[in-house]
Chain A
């Protein structure tokens, strides 16, 4: 395959092999002896659209299933997921994306598991939480029944066909069809006890308010089961406020934190942290730089207008420090600002490493490991100990067990 560049320059690649693409990550993994402590990637992705022929038959409604599967036919002018305008791969500069669908997977396990194991092994990752890709935009779907059925099909396909091939190293937090609280509850009741399901995920590119009374039974069902609730952000140029942006860099920079800021603010101000104190809540893929801003902003407003948020028994930032955060993308530009951010969010116990691989702005474990201000305990907690504690993930060797014990992330 040739990649078009400017001025008649082309880059030729014979084939894509994830192990080869990440050869330098493997070097880091060996150099830093990652095998000796647990590394958990709480946000990695696969491309479910490349397996729609296997996934869509799990749709329950016969008409929606027919429409969706017919969209796969050659020449069909049909799109079953909301479009996303943008140039994530920057005109071929991120070249692995273009050949992804052609990567060979000759092994006996399902394709997505084979490819996931390649990047996990290359990076030194012991466990990965697998999330979809195009489905992250499902919150913009105008048809609630389609959202419900696509989430249902994905959850069945993932838990029945993909995760069983994960050698116990892959888990998930399944996407909730958030436009239908009733369907969300059915999702939790159906899938919440399945193997490798550690919680559920709300795609935050959406307009529903997380405080709606209709969701309380959903949160309660998750809390009762000891599951986690994750909010996963994304880009959206179609959001009215961002239509004035004329470059994707602006949209990408702003929309990811925007949606998490929006939903987290609604979560906190409505006292949901008080109502569900045992429900772990995690915010994914918005970086960390927005957190000091939001903590200060919400605390300031709360001191002036606490009458509007009477369910709170402490400051908004205190509830935020009870929450968990996925690390990617690590905006390492001002190391002192980052150190301050880590202090403000209690990173040693609340931050969890995430790669976001194979997406274009992925982070290696070294983005945590190389931070000069972290203690060895903090490094190991963030890279895997916190996730091991939260999701009850077992160590994979004696050295990992010893380190988890040393830092209190498993019981003696």
Chain B
């Protein structure tokens, strides 16, 4: 399995991303809450740049025990990234499409060797 250089570890701040292009492959690498996540940059919908859009918390609807709704709010724990072409949202930690979790972006392993970050392609 080939390794593609992503960044110097010190240069990759939490909340940032890199788009790695290796031949025909494009991979989006995110650093989120100290962890690295890497996915195919091709949206499962129409092939848009899935990893190049907004990162934004998952929205949740607060349904109370009496079944009433307290409206829509941002999750405190779940973060998504959004394909900027049409708005397909993907779970940062799994690459699952949040509207249909059967759909998943191809996931890549990220490793640190010394001061360098690599993605395994």
Chain A positions near chain B (C-beta within 8 angstroms) = 3, 5-9, 11, 21, 23-25, 27-28, 90-96, 360-364, 366-367
Q: What are 10 sample pairs from A and B whose C-beta atoms fall under 8 A apart?
A: A5-B57, A7-B74, A9-B15, A9-B56, A24-B47, A93-B53, A93-B89, A94-B85, A362-B85, A364-B47
CA distance A23 to B47 in the complex (A): 10
When the two chains form their complex, are residues B84 and A94 in contact, meaning their CB atoms are under 8 A apart? yes
Q: Which of these, A24, A95, A367, contacts B42 with CB under 8 Å? A: A24
When the two chains form their complex, are residues A92 and B49 in contact, meaning their CB atoms are under 8 A apart? no
> Chain B residues near A6 (CB, 8 Å)?
56-57, 74
When the two chains form their complex, are residues A93 and B47 in contact, meaning their CB atoms are under 8 A apart? no
> Chain B residues near A90 (CB, 8 Å)?
87
Shortest CB–CB separation between residue B79 and chain A, in angstroms? Answer: 8
When the two chains form their complex, are residues A367 and B46 in contact, meaning their CB atoms are under 8 A apart? yes
> Chain A residues near B53 (CB, 8 Å)?
11, 93, 95
> Chain B residues near A360 (CB, 8 Å)?
86-87
Shortest CB–CB separation between residue A409 and chain B, in angstroms? Answer: 26
> Chain B residues near A91 (CB, 8 Å)?
56
> Chain A residues near B48 (CB, 8 Å)?
24
When the two chains form their complex, are residues A93 and B56 in contact, meaning their CB atoms are under 8 A apart? yes
When the two chains form their complex, are residues A93 and B74 in contact, meaning their CB atoms are under 8 A apart? no
> Chain B residues near A364 (CB, 8 Å)?
46-47
Which residues 77-114 of B have a CB within 8 angstroms of A? 79, 82, 84-87, 89
Q: Is B54 an interface residue (CB 8 A)?
A: yes
Using A7-B74, A9-B15, A28-B47 as known contacts, say yes or no to A93 and B55 having CB atoms under 8 A apart.
no
CA distance A65 to B55 in the complex (A): 44
- Who on chain B is nearest to A333 by CB? B100
Q: Nearest 7 A-B pairs (CB), nearest first? A: A6-B57, A5-B56, A93-B82, A93-B87, A9-B55, A6-B74, A95-B84
Chain B positions near chain A (C-beta within 8 angstroms) = 15, 42, 46-49, 53-57, 74, 79, 82, 84-87, 89
When the two chains form their complex, are residues B46 and A363 in contact, meaning their CB atoms are under 8 A apart? yes
Q: A24-B49, A93-B84 are in contact. List 5 more A-B contacts (CB 8 A).
A: A9-B55, A93-B54, A93-B56, A95-B53, A95-B84
Q: Which of A6, A8, A92, A366 has the most CB of B within 10 A?
A: A6
CA distance A55 to B82 in the complex (A): 36
Q: Which of these, B49, B84, B86, B89, contacts A361 with CB under 8 Å? A: B86
> Chain B residues near A9 (CB, 8 Å)?
15, 54-56, 79
Using A6-B74, A11-B54, A11-B55 as known contacts, say yes or no to A96 and B42 having CB atoms under 8 A apart.
no
- Who on chain A is nearest to B49 by CB? A24
- Who on chain B is nearest to A92 by CB? B54
> Chain B residues near A366 (CB, 8 Å)?
46-47
CA distance A366 to B15 in the complex (A): 33
CA distance A218 to B56 in the complex (A): 50
CA distance A364 to B86 in the complex (A): 11
When the two chains form their complex, are residues A23 and B84 in contact, meaning their CB atoms are under 8 A apart? no
CA distance A362 to B86 in the complex (A): 7
Shortest CB–CB separation between residue A365 and chain B, in angstroms? Answer: 10
- Who on chain B is nearest to A5 by CB? B56
CA distance A5 to B42 in the complex (A): 22
CA distance A121 to B15 in the complex (A): 34
> Chain B residues near A363 (CB, 8 Å)?
46
Q: Which of these, B46, B54, B57, B79, contacts A3 with CB under 8 Å? A: B54
CA distance A164 to B96 in the complex (A): 46
- Who on chain B is nearest to A96 by CB? B84
Q: Which of B54, B55, B79 has the most CB of A within 10 A?
A: B54
> Chain A residues near B86 (CB, 8 Å)?
94, 360-362
Shortest CB–CB separation between residue A271 and chain B, in angstroms? Answer: 40
CA distance A363 to B85 in the complex (A): 10
> Chain B residues near A27 (CB, 8 Å)?
47
CA distance A90 to B56 in the complex (A): 11
When the two chains form their complex, are residues A7 and B47 in contact, meaning their CB atoms are under 8 A apart? no
When the two chains form their complex, are residues B49 and A23 in contact, meaning their CB atoms are under 8 A apart? yes
CA distance A360 to B47 in the complex (A): 15
- Who on chain A is nearest to B14 by CB? A9
Shortest CB–CB separation between residue B4 and chain A, in angstroms? Answer: 19
CA distance A355 to B6 in the complex (A): 35
CA distance A164 to B116 in the complex (A): 54
- Who on chain B is nearest to A361 by CB? B86
Shortest CB–CB separation between residue B77 and chain A, in angstroms? Answer: 10
> Chain B residues near A7 (CB, 8 Å)?
57, 74, 79
Q: Which of B15, B49, B86 has the most CB of A within 10 A?
A: B86
CA distance A90 to B59 in the complex (A): 12
Q: Which of A94, A360, A363 has the most CB of B within 10 A?
A: A94
- Who on chain B is nearest to A97 by CB? B84
